[in-house]
Every structure is written in structure tokens, then in C-alpha cells.
């Protein structure tokens, strides 16, 4: 089986992780420009001031993507390049940069797939309360509208937000992302609601413009499975899926929050403050949402916590995606299992979990349109005789594309696959040590680009539409 001709083979990046040029051409500062300068927050104090300088080298990078045969490039827009203060004054040079980037993609027939928010918030809005302040949502909608008006003639795929769970959980529970707040579930759930409301308003605004493109949102896709077949483990998996999947997917796809979670939040006093108008808007936007983007790296293996647990402290070290943490309500914990395979960063490698999760999604939400907007292997790539031999990455992507193919065969509606990432980039908390790209960046040699083994392999996959996968 080959992948259909309207299935997009792509790769992704995000502005803060690749662009650099943090104060060039009138860009305003962001939460991440500030946060990464706080001692101890990132691996060896790395930051995105220069990143891989995609801002100045985008032509070279897009030419390489074109050489790879990439059909689509998913990138994000840095809000502070366009609105240096988050709202109000507009920086034309920021708009020009994204127009140039989009045009450069189109020159090669690469479909631009644009994320509006991939975590870099203008600092002025961060200082005013970030996602806890409903005014941030209003400013976001203004920013989104400007992007639709400026770029929507050529961009036909918009993602409103990337991974609400990550920037809210790491921002308000783990304290590992800005604003660095720990263990505050009330704030965490409030922030997620404010994001869903902003998403809903942006979707409604987009549809008013009749641009005949599509709009959706990308979520982490980390389906939970019990560690065994016991009743407790089934319960733990159900509970985990309610809190990490349904809470995030239901408002977007069904236009309402899952009752199971709402009930518990009510009992705990963690229910977000929301108005009838906000809930109604979320309800009205759901049928206008065109697709869901899934970022799949690994499933969760969960077990029910029995008896008393010690109060938990989440730190940067234990919040980086490896299993071992109890849930915020101490109902279940994620577990590393002896019979599973893991990456160097302890993320499980499970194409089977991917297929199983996709089936679960289909069962719950029906035939929704999906894009795999991120999937990839974080590794330290070996260099042998000057060549970047990222064979584990090839194996990882091969197995996961195989899972996508299997899911399509079983009737899951998947329209594209975006590897994370197009080029090596800054990992938020792991610096440049953890690599994901098809294109290597030599930090010892003026950020020179080099094609990895996976570059040639993926080129062949695209050319043959994955026939051999
Ligand atoms: C996703 C993000 O959560 O995972 C990316 O959307 C991120 O921005 C990727 O880089 C990999 O995470 P990490 O921690 O391995 O860099």
C-alpha cells in the first residue's frame, strides 16, 4: 500500500526552537527569552537567542527541505515579531519575515502548515498574567486575525495552539516552563480553559473570512494503557485518559468538557471560572474545527496508586516526559516497564501504542480528520567518518509510519505525517544535546548544515509514497 497522493509528508519546527534573532528587526521579548536566562532552568543554560539562526538562513533551510522532497513544512509564528508588546503596535518587519518564509516554501511547492502559538508568549502579556489573564486570550484572537488576513491567501492550514497540556502543566504544575509555578491545579485547569476559549474564538473568526482553508489544534497524543489486565489498572487507564485526553479533546471536538473530570474538579474546588458565554462559544466552535493535530511520542503505562502516597514535588528533572510521576490527584502513576523499549531520555518507543491509541480515538470521536503534526526520536546522533548516521531515527520513523499506515487501513482518517523535526533545534529543556532533525546543525562550525542518513532515507520514502513501509 502506498500513501494516498493527498497525504502530506512533512516535517515541523517551532519559532523559538529554530529562529534565533531574538531581538532582530523589531521583535519584542518573550516569556522564553526571559525564562531561559534564569539560572538552572534549562540544560547548561541554553537558550534560543541564536538557536539555529533559521531567521537568517531560512532560504538555505527551505532549499534543503525541497531537496528532500518535503511536501509540507509546519512552522510557528513568533507572536512578538508581529506584536512586540503582544497587542497594539504592529512590527511590519515581522510580517515581512513570515511572508518571505511562506513564499519561499511555495516557490518549491511546499505547503506551509502554520502554528500560531508554540509557547513563545510576548513578555508584556506574560507580565500581565499570561494564560490566567483572559485579556491574553483577547490579544491572541487579534494576533490570529492579523495572521489570517496577512497570510491566509497562501496559508490554507492553521493550527491555533500547540500542546495545551504541556505549556499549562509545565507552566503551572511542574514549574519547568514559564511562568514557573509549581503544584497549582486551580491555575492549571483555568489556563487550559482560557486557551480553549481563545481557540474557539479564533476558529469562529477564521471561518467568517471564508478563506477556504482549514483550522484545527495540535494536542499531545499520549494514550494511557493499564500496566496489566487488573480492574485497578483498567480504572487507572480510564482515569488517565479522561484527564489527559478527554479534558483536552472534548472541548475542541465535542464542544463541551467531560463530565467525569468536571465532577472531580468541582469536588476539589479546581473547576475553572468560566461564563455561560465562554461555554457557549466553545460549543459553537466545535463543528467549525476542521481537524485535530496529534503529536505522538509515546503512550502512558499507568497503575493505580494504592494506599497513601507522599506529597509529590515536581521538578524540571522529573517533568521531562519520562515515566515515574504520580498524577496531580495521586490516583495513578506512570510506570517504566521492563518489557518495553525506551529512548536515551526514557521515552517509550511504541508504534503499537500509536495504533491502539488511534483506534481508541476513533471509537470515542468517530471519523475526525487527523494530521500527525509531530512524531520523532530525540537522540544523540553518532557521527562516523564525518557522516551523521542516525539509523535509530530511521528505524523509529519507519515503525511509526508503519503504524500510521496500519491505522489508515483500519479506517482512521489521517491526512498527513510531520516528523519532528525538519532540522536539529533547541530542545526546550535539553538544549542542543537532544537531536531530532533530518538536517544536522554543526554548532562548532558556524551552524553549518549537513544532511543526515535519515534525510536521504526520508527523501526516498516520500518519492515512493511509503510503499516499502
Ligand atoms: C513537543 C513539542 O512536546 O515535543 C516540541 O511540541 C518539542 O516543541 C518536542 O521539542 C520534543 O520535546 P523535547 O523535550 O524532547 O525537546
pLDDT digits (tens, 9 = 90+) for 115-170: 999 999 999 999 999 999 999 999 999 999 999 999 999 999 999 999 999 999 99
| 26-30, 229-233, 326-330, 337-341: segment of lowest average pLDDT | 326-330
Q: What is the pLDDT of residue 442?
A: 97
**pLDDT greater than 60 at residue 311:** no
Mean pLDDT across the chain, nearest whole number? 96
Q: What is the pLDDT of residue 211?
A: 97
**pLDDT greater than 60 at residue 306:** yes
Question: What percent of the chain is modeled with pLDDT above 90?
Answer: 93
Q: Which has the closest alpha carbon to 328: 177, 174, 190?
A: 174
Q: What is the pLDDT of residue 315?
A: 63
Is the preceding omega at residue 179 within 30 degrees of 0, hence cis? yes
Ligand 1 centroid from CA 417, angstroms: 16
Asked, for residue 336, whether it belongs to a domain, the answer is: no
**How many domains does the chain divide into?**
1
**CB-neighbour burial class of residue 447 (10 A; exposed 0-12, middle 13-18, buried 19+):** middle
What is the average per-residue pLDDT within 67-94? 98
Ligand 1 centroid from CA 344, angstroms: 15
Judge whether 331 and 304 are in contact, CB under 8 Å.
yes
Q: Could you tell me the pLDDT band of residue 319, with boundaries at 50, 70 and 90? A: low
Q: What is the pLDDT of residue 313?
A: 62
Asked, for residue 324, whether it belongs to a domain, the answer is: no
Q: What is the pLDDT of residues 446-463, one digit of tens each?
A: 999 999 999 999 999 999
Q: Are strands 157-162 and 111-115 parallel, antiparallel or unpaired?
A: parallel
Asked, for residue 335, whether it belongs to a domain, the answer is: no
> Atom of ligand 1 at shortest distance to CA of 376?
11
Asked, for residue 416, whether it belongs to a domain, the answer is: yes
Say how far apart CA 149 and CA 142 lie, in whole Å.
11
> Atom of ligand 1 at shortest distance to CA of 429?
14
Q: What is the pLDDT of residue 308?
A: 72
Ligand 1 centroid from CA 422, angstroms: 13
Q: What is the pLDDT of residues 401-412, one digit of tens each?
A: 999 999 999 999
Asked, for residue 103, whether it belongs to a domain, the answer is: yes
Give, using CA atoms, the residue closest to atom 11 of ligand 1.
427
Give, using CA atoms, the residue closest to atom 16 of ligand 1.
427
Asked, for residue 149, whether it belongs to a domain, the answer is: yes
The pTM is what?
A: 0.97
Residues lining ligand 1, judged by CB closer than 6 Å?
A: 14, 17, 162-163, 166, 295, 320, 374, 378, 420, 427-430, 434
Give, using CA atoms, the residue closest to atom 7 of ligand 1.
427
- Please choose from 222, 345, 427 the residue to mutate so as to test ligand 1's pocket, defined by most ligand atoms within 8 A of CB: 427
Catalytic residues: 374
**pLDDT greater than 90 at residue 296:** yes
Ligand 1 centroid from CA 312, angstroms: 24
Q: Could you tell me the pLDDT band of residue 51, with boundaries at 50, 70 and 90? A: very high
Give, using CA atoms, the residue closest to atom 14 of ligand 1.
427
Q: Could you tell me the pLDDT band of residue 324, with boundaries at 50, 70 and 90? A: confident
- Please choose from 74, 159, 420, 430 the residue to mutate so as to test ligand 1's pocket, defined by most ligand atoms within 8 A of CB: 420
What is the average per-residue pLDDT within 52-74? 98
Asked, for residue 92, whether it belongs to a domain, the answer is: yes
> Atom of ligand 1 at shortest distance to CA of 163?
6
Asked, for residue 60, whether it belongs to a domain, the answer is: yes
CATH number of the domain to which 164 belongs: 3.20.20.80
Ligand 1 centroid from CA 43, angstroms: 14
Domain span at residue 96 reads 8-223+245-259+270-297+349-463
Q: What is the pLDDT of residue 325?
A: 86
Q: What is the pLDDT of residues 347-385, one digit of tens each?
A: 999 999 999 999 999 999 999 999 999 999 999 999 999
Amino acid at each position: 500500500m502506498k500513501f494516498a497522493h493527498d497525504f502530506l509528508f512533512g516535517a515541523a519546527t517551532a519559532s523559538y526552537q529554530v529562529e534565533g534573532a531574538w531581538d532582530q528587526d523589531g521583535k519584542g521579548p518573550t516569556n522564553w527569552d526571559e525564562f531561559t536566562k534564569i539560572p538552572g532552568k534549562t540544560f547548561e543554560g541554553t537558550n534560543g537567542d541564536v538557536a539555529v539562526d533559521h531567521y537568517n538562513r531560512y532560504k538555505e533551510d527551505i532549499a534543503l527541505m525541497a531537496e528532500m522532497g518535503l511536501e509540507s513544512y509546519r512552522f510557528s509564528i513568533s507572536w512578538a515579531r508581529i506584536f512586540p508588546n503582544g497587542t497594539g503596535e504592529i512590527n511590519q518587519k515581522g510580517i515581512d519575515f513570515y511572508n518571505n518564509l511562506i513564499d519561499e516554501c511555495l516557490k518549491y511547492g511546499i505547503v506551509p502548515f502554520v502554528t500560531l502559538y508554540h509557547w513563545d508568549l510576548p513578555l508584556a502579556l506574560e507580565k500581565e498574567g499570561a494564560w490566567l489573564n483572559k485579556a491574553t486570550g483577547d490579544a491572541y484572537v487579534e494576533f490570529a486575525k492579523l495572521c489570517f488576513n496577512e497570510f491566509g491567501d497562501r496559508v490554507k492550514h492553521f493550527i491555533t495552539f500547540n500542546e495545551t497540556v504541556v505549556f499549562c502543566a509545565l507552566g503551572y504544575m511542574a514549574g519547568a516552563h514559564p511562568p514557573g509555578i509549581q503544584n497549582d491545579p486551580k491555575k492549571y485547569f483555568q489556563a487550559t480553559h482560557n486557551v480553549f476559549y481563545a481557540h474557539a474564538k479564533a476558529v469562529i473568526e477564521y471561518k467568517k473570512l471564508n478563506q477556504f482553508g482549514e483550522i484545527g489544534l495540535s494536542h499531545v497524543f499520549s494514550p494511557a494503557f493499564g500496566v496489566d489486565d487488573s480492574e485497578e489498572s483498567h480504572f487507572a487507564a480510564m482515569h488517565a485518559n479522561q484527564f489527559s485526553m478527554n479534558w483536552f479533546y472534548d472541548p475542541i471536538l465535542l464542544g463541551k468538557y467531560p463530565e467525569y473530570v468536571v465532577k472531580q474538579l468541582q469536588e476539589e474546588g479546581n473547576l475553572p471560572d468560566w461564563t455561560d458565554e465562554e461555554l457557549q462559544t466553545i460549543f459553537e466552535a466545535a463543528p467549525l474545527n476542521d481537524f485535530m493535530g496529534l503529536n505522538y511520542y509515546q503512550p502512558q503505562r499507568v497503575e493505580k496508586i494504592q494506599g497513601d502516597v507522599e506529597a509529590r514535588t515536581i521538578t524540571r528533572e522529573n517533568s521531562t516526559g519520562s515515566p515515574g510521576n504520580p498524577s496531580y490527584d495521586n490516583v495513578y502513576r506512570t510506570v517504566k516497564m521492563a518489557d518495553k523499549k525506551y529512548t536515551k531520555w526514557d521515552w517509550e518507543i511504541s508504534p503499537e501504542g500509536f495504533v491502539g491509541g488511534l483506534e481508541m480515538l476513533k471509537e470515542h470521536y468517530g471519523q475526525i480528520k487527523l494530521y500527525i503534526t509531530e512524531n520523532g526520536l530525540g537522540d544523540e546522533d553518532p557521527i562516523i567518518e564525518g557522516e551523521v548516521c542516525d539509523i535509530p531515527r530511521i528505524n523509529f520513523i519507519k515503525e511509526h509510519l508503519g503504524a500510521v499506515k496500519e491505522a489508515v487501513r483500519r479506517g482512521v482518517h489521517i491526512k498527513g505525517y510531520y516528523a519532528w523535526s525538519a532540522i536539529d533545534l533547541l530542545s526546550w529543556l535539553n538544549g542542543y544535546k537532544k537531536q531530532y532533525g533530518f538536517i544536522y546543525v554543526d554548532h562548532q562550525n558556524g551552524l553549518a548544515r549537513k544532511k543526515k542518513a535519515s534525510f536521504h532515507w526520508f527523501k526516498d520514502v516520500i518519492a515512493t509514497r511509503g510503499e516499502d513501509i
